[in-house]
Structure 1
Amino acid sequence: MPPTDLESLARTLHDTAVQQDFSGAISLDADGDAVLAQAYGLADRAHGIPNALETRFGTASVSKGFTALAIHALIEDGSLELDTPVRSVLGEDLSVIDDGVTVQHLLEHTSGIGDYLDESDDLESTDYVLTVPTHTLANTESFLSAIDGHPQVSPPGERFAYNNGGYIVLALVAERVAGVGFHELVARRVFEPAGMTATGYLRLDELPGDAAVGYLGIGDRTNVLHLPVRGNGDGGAYTTAGDLSRFWRSLTDGRILPQPTVAEVLRPRRTVEEEGMRYGRGFWIDLTKPDPILIGGDAGVSIVTRFDPATRTTMTIVSNTPDGAWPLYRAYRNS
């Protein structure tokens, strides 16, 4: 987009944010040069703390992109291959997973495994969806009790079905192969090379002062009982709008992975008609443009961030409410 178009888009996003009483942050920049960078609403309603550009927000499924990159980093090392059967790493754990499921199937949501958090069930963000106490889900191995026992739904490779549990399995595989904890692995292989100094997997029950509390849309009730106490392979990192801009530029410049590998990660493999997008490995891609997109929605979280490789423009909308980002993203798409 030329500068005049970006300035018009910035005005549209800002005006929509004001009209919608938006709570969160918006960032629009051209190759790192800000066109719009503004925060709105409160990060902590009980204490009247406003959101700021430095506020860290939950990212929900945006984190799947980080997981996919960590997996590909291990593939680059030779520790894994795309066709590695996950059974060879899981051993006797998660015995209901078909022996034919590979790393590639999980990355591309074609594994056919049963999902512990099936989004086709039309869940509300206020639902209590976890079947184990949220405080127990603090590390990757602890998720075994949550994701086990969900029977295989379809043969591996047969069809695309967005799957949260599959990305927890990827985190398990990555952790066991790398010999370090998943959170440390992603920090080393993704956040550090990208210069994402404010990004990490925070505990919901001890959020630092610069992190936004997630609100459910029911009074001032928070999301602390609705999500794992610490995010993992399928979601839950905290980040800033500025870090996401650095992320996209670092990714496409080859600072996280070699550029040919990045091109494979972002290559569309499935058109998902009901979402109006295509899917690569951990990343959505616009239906008609090469723009990669990361989207997350959960209790107290809504976020979309996308990158235009032609103009190196990054657009991020992040909110600490479950629906706050979507009216702004609609305004973006209609502009």
Structure 2
Amino acid sequence: MQSVPDAVDGAAERTGFSGVVRLDRSGETEFSTAYGYADRAHGVLNTVETLFATASGSKGLTALAVMSLVERGTLELGTTARSLLGKDLPLIADNVTIEQLLAHRSGIGDYLDEDAVGDISDYVMPVSVHELPTTELFLPVLDGHETAFPAGERFAYNNGGYVVLALLAERASGVDFQQLVRTLVCEPAGMVDTAFLRSDELPGRAALGYLSVDGLRTNVFHLPVLGSGDGGIYSTAADLSAFWDSLFAGRIASPERVAEMVRPHSNWPKESKRYGLGFHLHATGDGVWLEGYDAGVSFASLHQPCSSITYTVISNWSDGAWPIIRLLNDRLGT
């Protein structure tokens, strides 16, 4: 049978994959390989040290930052959004809690309804992306969306809810959200190359995000200029492997809090999975992962405790990662 690295190489060649694939077993790196270009126009190749956007993969880090504030007594899972929002976002029900927002069970209206978007590369923000360099400036984007269902009634994936979480974390702590993630999550996890980066001043190691398998059109007009609670942090495959090691070693949050976050809080039959607090969960097994999909970004990083397998597939074009992810899940039984 063809080895996993050879199978990945073949799939990458067939599909035009651009990004990095890394596989670890029992703490040892089996392979880590880069493909394609970080900057097509200038012929800059991706490397295993390239920084890639992760889109909604950031939600797990947002959840951990919030949970760290809970552990410190700054917030409680039962804290209501209204207690910190005051008169802002009046359509959010008064009984919506931090825990419901984390679990996508808040019922609040969402500024980004993924079911209605269609082609992700056609979606544009309702305001100019350069107007969104801080979490507080998302208020006009978050406002005006009617409640979809009563808080706690059911699960519905909600991007806006995670921006609200970032806003609540900022207001409760008095610290910018991006700094909270850095100090409460990235630093204890040893994620030295992970950060929120402005799309209009990316460093040389960062990959540009492309809207198709070829061509030069990037996602610079499609995403907020700086990510917030629902997505946008940049990372490397090595940092994401360090993340899983640190998460389950209790270096980011206590083992008890981590266990609560990776416990199923909802079934998600439409996607054949379950969901915890900030983490995607296998429908029947113990696999837990982060996942992101946006214009110019496709990403998943999975850890399966029973097999001690960790993999990361991170791509700088919208649909690049999914064929490789399907291959790995099939070959690895994840």
Looking at structure 2, the residues matched to 180 and 196 of structure 1 have their Cα atoms a distance apart, in angstroms, of 20
8 Å contact from structure 2 (residues 117, 123) kept in 1: no
CA RMSD of aligned residues (A): 1.2
8 Å contact from structure 2 (residues 18, 35) kept in 1: yes
Q: Does 1:167 align with 2:162?
A: yes
In the superposition, the TM-score normalised over structure 2's length comes to 0.96
Looking at structure 2, the residues matched to 128 and 277 of structure 1 have their Cα atoms a distance apart, in angstroms, of 25
8 Å contact from structure 1 (residues 215, 320) kept in 2: yes
Q: Does 1:181 align with 2:160?
A: no
Moved more, 131-140 or 116-125: 116-125
State the AA in 2 paired with 1:184.
Q
In structure 2, the residue corresponding to 1:311 is in which secondary structure? coil
Q: Does 1:20 align with 2:40?
A: no
Residue matched to 1:195: 190
Return the match for 1:88 from 44, 58, 83. 83
Residue matched to 1:251: 247
Return the match for 1:276 from 252, 272, 276. 272
State the AA in 2 paired with 1:291.
G
Looking at structure 2, the residues matched to 148 and 105 of structure 1 have their Cα atoms a distance apart, in angstroms, of 19
Q: Deviations over 1:248-300 (max 9, x none)?
A: 01000000011111000100111101111110000001112111111100000
Residue matched to 1:231: 227
8 Å contact from structure 1 (residues 62, 235) kept in 2: yes
Residue matched to 1:116: 111
Q: Does 1:204 align with 2:205?
A: no
**Aligned-pair CA distance for 1:114:** 0.5
In structure 1, the residue corresponding to 2:3 is in which secondary structure? helix
Looking at structure 2, the residues matched to 201 and 123 of structure 1 have their Cα atoms a distance apart, in angstroms, of 27
Looking at structure 2, the residues matched to 54 and 258 of structure 1 have their Cα atoms a distance apart, in angstroms, of 29
Looking at structure 1, the residues matched to 209 and 63 of structure 2 have their Cα atoms a distance apart, in angstroms, of 25
8 Å contact from structure 2 (residues 50, 236) kept in 1: yes
Q: Deviations over 1:292-328 (max 9, x none)?
A: 1111000000001100112322101010000000111
Looking at structure 2, the residues matched to 31 and 230 of structure 1 have their Cα atoms a distance apart, in angstroms, of 35
Q: Deviations over 1:32-84 (max 9, x none)?
A: 32111000000001111000000000000000000000010010011111111
Task: State how 1:130-141 maps to structure 2 within 5 Å.
Answer: 130-141=125-136
8 Å contact from structure 2 (residues 196, 226) kept in 1: yes
Looking at structure 1, the residues matched to 308 and 217 of structure 2 have their Cα atoms a distance apart, in angstroms, of 38
Q: Deviations over 1:128-178 (max 9, x none)?
A: 331111001111101111111111111101111100000000000001111
8 Å contact from structure 1 (residues 85, 102) kept in 2: yes
Residue matched to 2:24: 29
Looking at structure 2, the residues matched to 156 and 287 of structure 1 have their Cα atoms a distance apart, in angstroms, of 24
In structure 1, the residue corresponding to 2:120 is in which secondary structure? coil
Looking at structure 2, the residues matched to 170 and 41 of structure 1 have their Cα atoms a distance apart, in angstroms, of 35
State the AA in 2 paired with 1:295.
E
In structure 1, the residue corresponding to 2:244 is in which secondary structure? helix
Looking at structure 2, the residues matched to 68 and 8 of structure 1 have their Cα atoms a distance apart, in angstroms, of 36
Looking at structure 2, the residues matched to 78 and 246 of structure 1 have their Cα atoms a distance apart, in angstroms, of 27
In the superposition, the TM-score normalised over structure 1's length comes to 0.96
Moved over 4 A (4+): none
Looking at structure 1, the residues matched to 227 and 14 of structure 2 have their Cα atoms a distance apart, in angstroms, of 32
Looking at structure 1, the residues matched to 252 and 268 of structure 2 have their Cα atoms a distance apart, in angstroms, of 27
Identity rate, percent: 52
Aligned residues, how many? 330
Stretches of structure 1 lacking an aligned partner (at least 5 in a row)? none
Moved more, 301-310 or 119-128: 119-128
**Aligned-pair CA distance for 1:331:** 1.3
Residue matched to 1:41: 36
Residue matched to 2:261: 265
